[in-house]
Amino acid sequence: MLEFNEPFPEEMTELHNPLRNSEFRKLFTAQVIALVGTGLATVALTLLAYDMVGGNAGVLLGQALAIKMVAYVVFAPIVGGIAHRFNRKPLLITLDLMRAIIVLAMPFATEVWHIFVLIFLLNVFSAGFKPVFQATIPDIINEEQAYTRALSFSRLAYDLENLISPALAGLALLFFTYDFLFISNSIAFLVSASLILVTVLPGGESVDRLGGLWQEISFGVRSYLKTPRLRGLLVLYLGVACTSAMVIVNTVVYIREILQRSDSDVAMALAASGAGSMIAALSLPRVLNHISDRTVMLSGAIIMSLGLMTIWLSPDFVTLLAIWFMIGLGLSLVQTPSGRIVNQSSAPTDRPSYFSAQFALSHACWMLAYPVAGQLGHLIGIETTALMLGILVTLFSIVAALVWPRNDPEVIEHSHTDVSHRHQHTHDIHHDHFHNSDDATEDHNHHHTPLTHSHLFVIDDHHPRWPE
């Protein structure tokens, strides 16, 4: 049975176009420029690897990808956990500038270990930038319909990276060496930093965060895993990782080795998946006006599983294009609304921590899926691997449906016990009090009497567990 949201009048949709917001336009432009620049650098890195190790370039790139994932998984929670200590605008600008410097150093790499160090550092700063950037979008677009569209545009930016960057790189390489692509990426990061500089972002709020540094760093992951709908989202991302790993790792093997077709056909298959993803991303804002996020995302997972299992029938090239298109649709149906779910599940001041947790945990899924898809494809064949991964995605869909309750209200009645603690000076629903001294700005002890009330419920220091 489908779950429906209230429909939104068609004549009103233009009022909820996020591009009408000048601050979002700047951030979106910054995101597109940075991602396209990153795509150029990816092509350049491939060529640099080939110059260094020749036919072993694939091994080098695989190792670089593993290093990238480790940086994402380890450092995203750290940056997200302490992000509340800093003003977001200078933080984002600093991270962009550091990325610009690192990419500019890549043409000077002469040893493999130079590449590994630079890749690691680049992705340490990317692991900080991307989730904080995502957490900033709802700060400037707080209307739900516009925010949904903003997420679709953000997803579109990643698809444009895959479609536009290779074409631009090919054009540039007609006139320049691949060093120019690294320089272009550095310039792209500088332009991104400049656009963020002129963007007006809301000021940060104090965070009532208990405990020491480790509590801050681990807060996002702990809170994420305590939230039922986010646990369901994580299980769905296991399916996303299995599916996208199959596409990324094994497309070239299936087309070149089994179908005996050309490199251009490999690019066409990947483009088919990207096209499916783009169409889904552009359609989702209207779809989500009528159907719940949960239903849309579970449907996307089912589409992914069916697409994968169809590979077992050894399709020809044209059929494969259709399957890859369908898989791209499914991937986007799960990934695009995920920001809405994370945003719904976190307090505004805690968003960087939650988005960082989502970033780290989702990339941990990919870190597992990439080698599994590659090794299984080598050992048991592409068709059987696709069938097994499709069955896994089906199981993940079932688990996600069980973990993520169908009845999932945002406002929940809950009770607080009698407790005293020391907290930063804030006045909110849990700290509405008077001061009898001049220390109103200092941290101080506060006593909570037993209380039962209702409000938008998220996991934080005052709500350490989900209500039964």
- Report the alpha-carbon distance of residue 191 to residue 444 in Å, rounded: 44
Whether residues 259 and 387 fall in one domain:
yes
Task: Read off the tokens for 217.
Answer: 């760093």
**CATH, residue 138:** 1.20.1250.20
Strand, helix or coil for residue 291: strand
Q: 390, 411, 432 — which closes off a domain?
A: 411
Q: What is the pLDDT of residue 379?
A: 86
Residues 196, 228: one domain? Answer: no
With respect to residue 439, please indicate whether it lies within any of the assigned structural domains. no
| Position 7 in a domain | no
For residues 230 and 341, is the Cβ–Cβ distance under 8 A?
yes
Q: Which amino acid is at 252?
A: V
Vertex 69 angle, CA 164 and 329, to 5° = 45
Same domain for 33 and 81, yes or no, is yes
Q: What is residue 373's predicted lDDT score, i.e. its pLDDT?
A: 85
Residue 106 lies in a domain: yes
Q: Do 267 and 150 lie in a common domain?
A: no
Which of 110, 72, 44 minimizes the C-alpha distance to 366?
72
Q: Are 327 and 308 in contact (CB under 8 A)?
A: yes
Angle at 390 between CA 384 and CA 396, to 5 degrees: 140
Query: Long-range contacts: 98-103, Cβ < 8 Å, 24+?
Result: 98/125, 99/125, 99/126, 99/129, 99/189, 100/186, 100/187, 100/189, 100/190, 100/193, 101/186, 103/41, 103/182, 103/185, 103/186, 103/189
SS3 452: strand
Domain termination residue (choose one: 394, 411, 428): 411
List the chain pLDDT tens, one digit each, 468 residues: 344 444 444 443 455 678 788 888 898 899 888 888 887 787 787 678 777 777 565 566 667 777 888 888 888 788 777 776 778 888 899 999 999 999 999 888 888 888 888 888 888 888 888 888 888 888 888 777 788 788 888 877 777 666 677 667 767 878 888 788 889 989 999 999 999 999 988 765 555 555 556 666 777 788 888 899 999 999 999 999 999 888 877 887 888 888 888 767 877 887 788 889 889 988 888 898 889 999 999 999 999 999 999 999 989 999 999 999 999 999 999 998 998 898 888 887 778 788 888 888 998 898 888 888 888 888 888 899 999 999 999 999 999 999 999 887 766 766 666 666 555 555 555 555 555 555 555 555 666 667 776 667 777 767 767 777
Q: How many CB atoms lie within 10 A of CB 385?
A: 26
Judge if 340 and 248 occupy the same domain: yes
Beta-carbon contacts of 193 under 8 Å, excluding residues fewer than 6 positions away, are 30, 92, 93, 96, 97, 100
**Residue ranges making up the domain that contains 375:** 223-411
Say if residue 260 is in the same domain as residue 156.
no
Q: Are residues 91 and 144 in the same domain?
A: yes
Nearest-angstrom CA–CA distance, 184 and 37: 6
* Token pair for 89: 């605008």
Question: Letter for the amino acid at 240?
Answer: V
The predicted model scores a pTM of 0.77
At how many degrees (to 10) do helices 179-197 and 144-172 cross? 150
Q: What's the CA gap between 415 and 248, in Å, rounded?
A: 48
Q: Is residue 373 part of a domain?
A: yes
Examine the domain organization and report whether 195 and 232 are in the same domain: no
- In a domain, residue 3? The reply is no
Within a domain: 216 = no
**Cα–Cα distance for residue pair 269/192, rounded to 1 Å:** 31
Overall number of domains in the chain: 2
Do 121 and 39 share a domain, yes or no? Answer: yes
Same structural domain, 93 and 163 = yes
In a domain? residue 105 = yes
Q: For the purposes of burial, counting CB atoms within 10 Å of the CB of 418, is it exposed (0-12), middle (13-18) or buried (19 or more)?
A: exposed
Query: Hey, what amino acid is at 245?
Result: A
Residue with tokens 């670089």: 64
113 and 177 housed in the same domain: yes
Task: Based on the fold, state whether residues 193 and 250 are members of the same structural domain.
Answer: no
Q: Does residue 207 fall inside a structural domain?
A: no
What is the maximal distance between C-alpha atoms in the chain? 81
